[in-house]
Amino acid sequence: MPDSVDGNAPFAIRQYSADELKAALRKMYLIRKFEEGAEESYTRGLIHGTMHLSIGQEASAVGACMPLTDHDKITSTHRGHGHCVAKGADVEKMFAEFFGKETGYCRGRGGSMHIADVAKGNLGANGIVGGDIPIAVGSALAAKRLGSGAVTVCFFGDGANNEGAFHEALNMAAVWKLPVVFVCENNKYGMSTSTARSTAVKSIAERAASYSMPGLSVDGNDFSAVAEAVDTAVARARAGEGPSLVESVTYRWRGHSKSDRNRYRTKEEIAEWMDKDPIKRMAEMLLAHKILSADAVAELEAEADREIAAAIEAAKAGPDPEAGDLTRDVYTELAA
């Protein structure tokens, strides 16, 4: 913490340098613009299938990745574009994947729902709700056994907290004291079913008590609050003290997927959450603490716009996979 920083300032201001904070805001803009670019590309017919957009959840993805290095791992969900960007992915390779190109992260085999960037520690988005939770525990088991020091952050949504995999995996992580942080992005709805109608506990963080691990619920639209909670949990994991559960309460502005007609929530509710825009709040925090000027914030946004536009154009130019390679990577090709 620099001497000039107010001791009562938010965690993020106290914890991170101006450059780190600027980079974090830039990533949040990049996620927002990425999602908007993906949505537009979908409308223009460039994207096959469906997508799950994370607009409105940017503080959660970027805040949770703040304490991580490239050496640390994440596992992600069907709503995983933001996690992928937050962990440092190249947006051009992401768009190339969405466009089904050989130059995409998964060579056009995975698409939006399986986007991954293994070199940066993102083990992949997962199309099965809760499917990544035991895998994250396995990643943490490997880290502990191999002594790598890596921590795994496991992202999942509120819907996953009612899957058996969630309960089995949290229990094992606690019994074996593994270096994993469970980050539940509670955006209030599992597709159309609200947590009030699906989940017996009021706060998903309460589930932690069943597995004797710390559980904390934070405002998922507050970058600093997410970063602080996950930072504490990561420190605990690195110290060998085991897992934690962080509930990041947030909201997706868009529907569940492209087929969603928003019949289960009101326009007023959506508008109310749009007023709590996590990017606006982050920018205001940085302005208030004189980390960035208004011009600098506007420039960051414009930069993100340009980067996304360029990435889309470059990604479109990539080659399609060869039909003759259809069954490649079903199995590892063994040297004869």
> Which residues form the interface with other proteins (CB under 8 A)?
73, 75, 104-110, 114, 116, 118, 123-124, 126-128, 131, 133-143, 145-146, 148, 164-165, 167-169, 171-172, 175, 327-332, 334
Q: From residue 233, how far is each of 73, 162, 227, 240 by CA, in Å?
A: 14, 22, 10, 11
d(CA 26, CA 21): 8
Please report how close the Cβ of residue 179 comes to other proteins at its closest, in angstroms: 12
Closest contact distance (angstroms) between CB of 330 and other proteins is 5
Residue pair 108/102 in contact (Cβ under 8 Å)? The answer is yes
Please say which residue, 313 or 329, places its beta carbon nearer to other proteins: 329
Query: From the CB of 157, what's the least distance to other proteins, in Å?
Result: 17
Q: CA separation (Å) from 88 to 24, 62, 66, 97, 195?
A: 11, 10, 11, 16, 31
In whole angstroms, the minimum distance from the beta carbon of 187 to other proteins comes to 23
For other proteins, give the closer residue by CB, 122 or 244: 122
| Minimum CB distance to other proteins smaller for 139 or for 244 | 139
In the complex, least distance from residue 180 CB atom to other proteins, rounded to whole angstroms: 10
CA distances for 303 relative to 73, 86, 122, 180, 297, angstroms: 28, 17, 25, 34, 10
- Give the total residue count for the chain: 336
Q: Which is nearer to other proteins, 71 or 202 (CB)?
A: 71
Q: How far is CA 147 from CA 88, 135, 199, 332, in A?
A: 24, 18, 37, 27
The nearer residue to other proteins, 63 or 124, going by C-beta atoms, is 124
Nearer to other proteins, 52 or 289 (CB): 52
Residues sharing a CB contact under 8 Å with residue 22, sequence separation 6 or more, in sequence order: 286, 291, 292, 296, 300
For the bound state, the minimum distance from the C-beta of residue 192 to other proteins, rounded and expressed in Å, comes to 22
